[in-house]
Structure 1
């Protein structure tokens, strides 16, 4: 590195390490000072405070008198952690589960041991504290299929409307580079319109879940100090006679908590199947291999799917694009954020989203997420570590771009045919699950992703992009030197090496008909064959939505509340009696199926 780059690396490293030290102090202060009162019994126990768990908690606190508690394995965090630009700094921190895949045969070849990192939030708010805050409805016809006709498209859209009016404050991106406008012009140049509710294909600036420039999650909607216990790991579910009656936790000693009306597991697509398997619900061969007694055989952990993509620092510019590390550190921008809720600190990272079809259909199969900075922006002080890029790849590809101005046009596969699985390694709840997504194991996925990169190349070669000095990075990616640059064979090699997760895992507790061999929960979110046990999070999605998954998860959590909890409350009210004994009887006589 040149002396200038060394100086930049030093400055960025110091700032990032100071933030890390602050994050550790926040985490351990919360860990050692937590003294929340804990009851032995509640009406509902919610495991996990992510998008789904917190939304259900919000509705419970607002619309019912039920007692409940949210058990969060991570810490509370700090208001500084809600600064949008700081989201990537939480990746790999104590507020991240720090999961990674097993070595992949067909993907992640540029990463250490061919393992892709799987960032998942381990804090109040879950992964929504680390994402790009993008709110996108996706194709609602897919959601109708998930429920197998139980709900109409109009009904689902009503719930999306509720989410957008009552749960999330939604705002257009307010601080962005010139790239965002240019990309929209470039997209129009190659035939794509601006995205709207009537058009599944096209490009648009990001719509964000923010309030006054601050990251906003469903956990911001209710009194978490009253209803949430942080740093509480749920060891297993307590199941007696095919009925879930509570959970066993470490707090800090082993304690049992009981739920009169239900346990709602909202721990995410990796931890929800892990908890079910630890509790004896899952494939017999997996449970037998770790000596867990089988309570109910279900395909828990199967059907793992994820949005994966490529394209780090593939697009270069002749001049900087005004959203870089020094912009984030600029004291004037710090002032703007804390006084006015504006400025560079409000940036979501992703400024533009685009949806295209590589096979001329009306349903998109590739998504673009346009970020005006690349992984080289911090000179290797943090971002490369969170992705696990090998030293060889870094030294021979990315570090050569320090004199350039790189951007990332993240090209994502929306509907992968490659299916993986999650399974526990042992009976120890402290061990991470074994995650094998089998990325790019299906040849159609490679083909679709390659065709997506080809569309990106067309986008970059437009007059609009050339006008601001946009061009492709024509340096061969390490491991792909034997192929002509940007040929089909080169691109196949490229996507297999530089494979990146967008951290949208779904499917491991799939929803479906009770008679289906692929279903873990029914269309009421109840675990099949186990009373009073529900799973409500991304793990129940049987397929991926056509876009960022946060809106879809929030919608499904709201449907769960309305049809499982509020409907039972309404039944009680219609009987002109709010007696708790009768209320309990209703839940016993009329369990949700």
Structure 2
């Protein structure tokens, strides 16, 4: 999911150490390292005010990178891609450093509004929602886990947005971008039936496993989980290692695999460090361009055919609202003329993550922080070693196993924090817990290894919303998480958390005298059993950083991702998901972008002269 620190970087992230410091130290030994760790990011364009393009894509994240690259392949088409951030730093392409950009200038650093009910053990009662602000977007700071969700997820989409979104139909679009090389999968014809080999983004894995990962796999197997070779296999569910989007020791994202190649096309212009402040919609309800602030100047760029928003769950919703598309009452309260009354910002939700902590005698996570520097040198020298890949694993749980044996309700993701890793800073930065909890965990970590087990609800029923905080486009939106607003979401946590704590009873961890850590939450001190665990879940809830739903198919959008009632305006990002998939969302966002590109191409072929038909 998202809380997965591998052994090489766990100590550094826990201590709040700077990856740049590690890289700088290594550069003293390797003067040529700057040439070894770099990406050929496309050059920035500088279009003049009032320039017209066929298509304008807002946001160069995962979806925007895929979509603009596909559009640039079309004959006679010009594309402008606008990104609020710039090029990613060197650290972004090193797999072992996948967590360190959160909380930096490369992150939008969104947080939720304190609802005074859930997440009260977090500092200020506010949840962190990191999002990438650079080429590649969140795909440049994610964990690179390749996960698609499950067939039922897409059949649910199809129920509200049409059969083009069912599992059978979306599978070919997953395959289109995928270049599967995972050693556990490629030689198995049964598994390869679900995977592609000719796509641009490499999906890799290895039979080599770290000591800690193998311990976790064996412990889950001892608890009754079947070991599976492919965690995306819709026919089997259990425990296993994830595939990752890594190529030759570096992150392989939509930006590195597609945008970096398309960026050299004369048909694609990329405007960096520029914020789109409004979609321009004419008196016939057609999107005809965008207003942009770039180099401290306001400019207008026109779209002859279409504007596509790929700015992400939060920023796309904000931009639609600023442009007069959203709930009428909210827009009127903000003093924004209403162009189209649609439930923009509603249906916001995310996976719910609650971390169960175990403590154990040392020996499971053997990496020392000082070794990080040597691993950096090894990586810079040959792109090998622990920093060149990541070996995360997980386990899926079906609470109703008899009736739905392959449809998970929860997932668990264990990690290993070495003794005396300085957990306090990482606890604050990554999890956002209140100071007392982080301090007590840090004290415990001085003598014990910590085993955080992220327990994640995969299909929440609760919904929140995203609204404007003001009409100023530079102000962050207000994010209301709505966590556990539907009490049914709490029902499965006692069983799932108990299962996570039972890892301490596995043979290996009994030998390490492992025990469950009681965080002594004041709000829960009078409660025991299932009610106590529910209370812990409510207090400790964080998102898993898979926010979706604010411009949902079937509500804000039609089945072709077009904004209802506004011609020439489409959305392609995680916000289009009417319900979050049961897994990491990055691969699903790539699929959505591929679908958007296909819809556009089909419409171009079907309508010479590009007469857009009514989408009301």
TM-score range, shorter chain: 0.7 to 0.9
Aligned partner of 1:153 in structure 2 is: 167
Aligned partner of 2:320 in structure 1 is: 276
Q: Is the counterpart of residue 451 in structure 1 residue 451 in structure 2?
A: no
Distance 1:187 1:159 in 2: 33
Aligned partner of 1:248 in structure 2 is: 291
CA shift digits 1:441-477 (9 cap, x unpaired) = 222212222321122123432225435x272333343
Aligned partner of 1:128 in structure 2 is: 139
Q: Is the counterpart of residue 521 in structure 1 residue 557 in structure 2?
A: yes
Distance 1:503 1:283 in 2: 25
CA shift digits 1:185-228 (9 cap, x unpaired) = 22222222123424352111011000112111101123346632
Distance 1:324 1:548 in 2: 29
Distance 2:147 2:215 in 1: 21
Aligned partner of 2:120 in structure 1 is: 109
Aligned with residue 220 of structure 2, among 168, 187, 194: 187
Aligned with residue 510 of structure 1, among 539, 552, 564: 552
Contact 1:526 1:535 (8 Å CA) reproduced: yes
Residues 9 and 236 of structure 1: CA distance in aligned 2, closer, same or farther (over 3 Å): closer
SS of 1:393 mapped into structure 2: helix
Contact 1:173 1:347 (8 Å CA) reproduced: no
Distance 2:419 2:495 in 1: 23
Aligned with residue 169 of structure 1, among 184, 199, 202: 202
Contact 2:219 2:506 (8 Å CA) reproduced: yes
Aligned partner of 2:444 in structure 1 is: 400
Q: After TM superposition, give the deviation of residue 98 of structure 1 in Å.
A: 0.9
Q: After TM superposition, give the deviation of residue 159 of structure 1 in Å.
A: 1.3
CA shift digits 1:300-342 (9 cap, x unpaired) = 0000110121115435343241345444x231x2233223322
CA shift digits 1:403-462 (9 cap, x unpaired) = 211122211010111110000011100000000011122222122223211221234322
Distance 1:150 1:553 in 2: 18
Aligned with residue 90 of structure 1, among 95, 101, 125: 101
Aligned partner of 2:462 in structure 1 is: 418
Contact 1:372 1:406 (8 Å CA) reproduced: yes
> What TM-score do the two structures reach when normalised by structure 1?
0.86
Give the gaps of 5 or more residues in structure 2: 1-10, 26-33, 35-42, 180-198
Aligned partner of 1:36 in structure 2 is: 45
Give the gaps of 5 or more residues in structure 1: 1-7, 27-33, 513-518, 573-582
Distance 2:379 2:542 in 1: 31
Distance 1:9 1:121 in 2: 21
Contact 1:107 1:497 (8 Å CA) reproduced: yes
Q: After TM superposition, give the deviation of residue 35 of structure 1 in Å.
A: 6.4
SS of 2:306 mapped into structure 1: strand
SS of 1:311 mapped into structure 2: strand
Contact 2:86 2:272 (8 Å CA) reproduced: yes
Residues 364 and 200 of structure 1: CA distance in aligned 2, closer, same or farther (over 3 Å): farther
Distance 2:470 2:539 in 1: 31
Q: Is the counterpart of residue 500 in structure 1 residue 532 in structure 2?
A: no
SS of 1:543 mapped into structure 2: coil
| Mean Cα deviation higher: 377-386 or 525-534 | 377-386
Aligned partner of 2:383 in structure 1 is: 341
> What TM-score do the two structures reach when normalised by structure 2?
0.83
Residues 506 and 339 of structure 1: CA distance in aligned 2, closer, same or farther (over 3 Å): same
Distance 1:415 1:324 in 2: 37
Q: After TM superposition, give the deviation of residue 16 of structure 1 in Å.
A: 5.5
SS of 1:269 mapped into structure 2: helix
Contact 1:365 1:414 (8 Å CA) reproduced: yes
Contact 1:9 1:381 (8 Å CA) reproduced: no
Q: Is the counterpart of residue 215 in structure 1 residue 251 in structure 2?
A: yes
Q: Is the counterpart of residue 199 in structure 1 residue 243 in structure 2?
A: no
Q: Tell me the matched-pair count.
A: 552
Q: Is the counterpart of residue 237 in structure 1 residue 279 in structure 2?
A: yes
Q: What is the root-mean-square deviation of aligned Cα atoms in Å?
A: 2.8
SS of 2:470 mapped into structure 1: coil
CA shift digits 1:168-191 (9 cap, x unpaired) = 101115775312222222222222
Contact 2:461 2:489 (8 Å CA) reproduced: yes
CA shift digits 1:461-520 (9 cap, x unpaired) = 2225435x27233334332672577x32332222222222211000111101xxxxxx00
Contact 1:85 1:346 (8 Å CA) reproduced: yes
Distance 2:441 2:524 in 1: 12
